Homo-oligomer: A and B are copies of this chain.
Amino acid sequence: MNGSIITKNTKFLIVGLGVIGGSYAQALTRAGYTVSCITRSEDSIRYALERKMISYGTTRVEPSLVAEADIIVFALYPEIFIKWIEDNQSLFRAGTIITDVTGVKGGVVKKVQSILHPDVEFIAAHPMAGRERSGVEYSDAAVFKGANYIVTPTEANSARAIATCRELGEILGFARISELSPEAHDEMIAFLSQLTHVIAVTLMTCTDCEGMEKYTGDSFRDLTRISKINDLMWSELFLLNKDALLAQMDAFSREFERFRRDLEAGDSDSMRATMRLSAERRTRFDKK
C-alpha cells in the first residue's frame, strides 16, 4: 500500500497477550509475519507458543526485543498503556511505528503522542471486534472477518504511519477500514459500543430475574450477551469517555420516554411509525 512500511520481513511485537492481542498475533503469524510478545503471564505465552501464534514471548521488557520491532501493537488497558510508554520509551528504535487497540481515544492518543520522543510515531486504531470473554485462550482471528477497523489519526501523524496502520487492518482481515478523528471516534463509540453495554448491564440488573431462563427467548439473550462484561476494563473506558457517554444515555432516555408516552396514550400510529423507521435503518447494519 502506498507509503506503508510493511514488507514481508516486518517484525511485529504485541504488548499484552489477551483476547485481542492474541487474535492479532494469530492473524499476523498466519499471514507470514514474525510476531513476538511481551505479556504478564507465563501461561499465556506457553499457550500462544504451543499453538504457534507467536515465535517468541517473554514476561520481561527485553530491550533488544523492543528495539528490533518495526511495529509494536499495544493491547493493554488505557492507563497501563500510557504508563508503559512513560517507563520504557527509551528502548524504541527510531522509525518504529506504534499502534494500539484502545476502545477510547480522547484521553489516550494525544497523551501518548505528547510524551513520545519525536522519532517514534503513534498511530491509534480501534478494531471493532471483541468477545465477551477475556484471556488469550479466547482469542480467534476469525472475529475480524466482516468487522470494522477504525484508524484515528491526529495532525501529528504522517501519511506513512496512516498507510501502515490501514494495511495492518487489511492484513488482520477486517472488512472495512475507516478513519475518524479521536474526538469523532469517541462520540461514535459512546453510542455504538458504550451505550449498548450500559443497556445490556441495566437489563440484566433492573429486575430480579431468578428462574427467568426457563421462559426466555432469543431477543433477551441477544440484548444481554455483552452484559458478561469485564468490569475493570469497561468502568475505566466509561470514565475516560464520560461526557460523550452521558450525552448518549440522555438521548436514549429521551427517546425511550417518548415511546413510553405513545404506549401510555395508546398511540398506535406513532409507535408504528417509530418501528418502521427502526426497521428501515437497521437494514444498513447487516453484516456483508
Contact = CB atoms under 8 A, between A and B. Distances in A.
Interface of A: 128-130, 147-148, 150, 176, 178, 180, 185, 188-189, 191-193, 195-207, 209, 212-229, 231-232, 234-236, 238-239, 242, 245-246, 248-249, 251-257, 259-260, 263-264, 266, 268, 271-272, 274-279, 281-285, 287
A255 B198 CA distance: 10
A51 B232 CA distance: 52
Contacts of A268: 235-236, 239
A266 B239 contact: yes
Nearest to A208: B281
A202 B256 contact: yes
B251 A205 contact: no
A277 B204 CA distance: 8
A279 B133 CA distance: 10
Contacts of A248: 207
Given A198-B256, A203-B252, A278-B200, A128 B217 contact: yes
A279 B178 contact: no
Contacts of A259: 198, 201-202
Given A215-B178, A231-B275, A275-B231, A207 B222 contact: no
A191 B203 CA distance: 9
B198 A235 contact: no
A65 B259 CA distance: 43
B207 A203 contact: no
Contact of A274 (B129, B201, B207, B256): B201
A275 to B, nearest CB: 4
21 contacts: A128-B216, A128-B218, A150-B215, A178-B214, A178-B215, A192-B216, A198-B256, A199-B256, A201-B278, A202-B255, A204-B277, A205-B278, A205-B281, A219-B226, A222-B225, A228-B282, A228-B283, A235-B271, A235-B275, A238-B263, A249-B256
